[in-house]
Amino acid sequence: MSKTWKLGAILVGLLQCVVFAALLAAPAPVRAQDGSGVSSPGPGAAINGDVPIYGTATIDPFQKYELHYKLEPSGDDAYIYFAGGTAPVSNGQLGVWQAGALPPGTYTIRLRVVRPDGNYAEFYTPNISVNQVAAAPAATATQAITETPTATPTFTPAPQPTAVVGQVTQPQVEGDAPPPTATPTPLPADAAAAGEPAAVDIGAGGSLLPTATPLGAQAAPVDGEGNLTDQLEQELGFERLRTQFMNGIRISAALFIGLAALLAGKRLFVWVWKKYG
């Protein structure tokens, strides 16, 4: 039991030393002298084009000052440097902000005054409207314009002549027999009621029935949709297989890393136990 308490005390002491060293190494920002900051443009100002920045940038001891801007809403890592100097400024021009090419929006200006040891102080000027022009007032009256429709000439085709089919009588040669005359054969009553075409008897040649050609016949559809469905199923199957394969690789890598960490921790614990136990 005493060995366990001793090992725990050693680990807690090491952790406290690491945290204390990290706090000493990080530079903490300090406050600048009273009066430092941007005086123009002020919070809520509306600007366009190139704008001079006025204010005060002093600190003791002084190294430099920097001016940054960012489009809101965004984080602190979105600030962009646009001006600065290595000499203190008191109630003077700090730089020129060329905001004419920036997209319209609300911006924030940050002034950072830096000391030689790396410590600094920051001052912010928020809610600056850049390149936002007020909308023009809407017209109070709307003039109604009535258009006169233009007459469109209508083309009427001329009536086409109707062809007249007549019977040509062949001259009869003396001694020839008269040509046979086609006698129509009456259609039975039940066929006439069903609307079937009548048979015509042409001499001794028998009867000739007209054949109706069906309308709206279409070509057989090409079997392209089935092939496209099969290709989609193959592609989706391949994507699913690749996703499962990559998931398996990730899970195997995570298990391997966890096993390696467990073995390393075990070795470290055994070494500490043997050394201080």
Rounded mean pLDDT of the chain? 73
Homologous superfamily (CATH) of 37-130 is: Immunoglobulins (2.60.40.10)
CB atoms within 10 A of CB 125: 22
Question: 83 with 94: CB under 8 angstroms?
Answer: yes
What pLDDT does 236 receive? 73
- State the Cα–Cα distance between residues 130 and 149, nearest whole angstrom: 49
Model confidence pLDDT, tens digit, residues 125-181: 999 999 987 544 444 434 444 555 566 656 566 666 555 555 545 555 555 555 555
> Burial level of 111, CB count in 10 A (0-12/13-18/19+)?
buried
**HSE-up of residue 76 (Cα within 13 Å, Cβ side):** 5
Model confidence pLDDT, tens digit, residues 47-71: 999 999 999 999 999 999 999 999 9
CB atoms within 10 A of CB 95: 20
pTM for the whole structure:
0.39
The better pLDDT of the pair 239, 6 is held by: 239
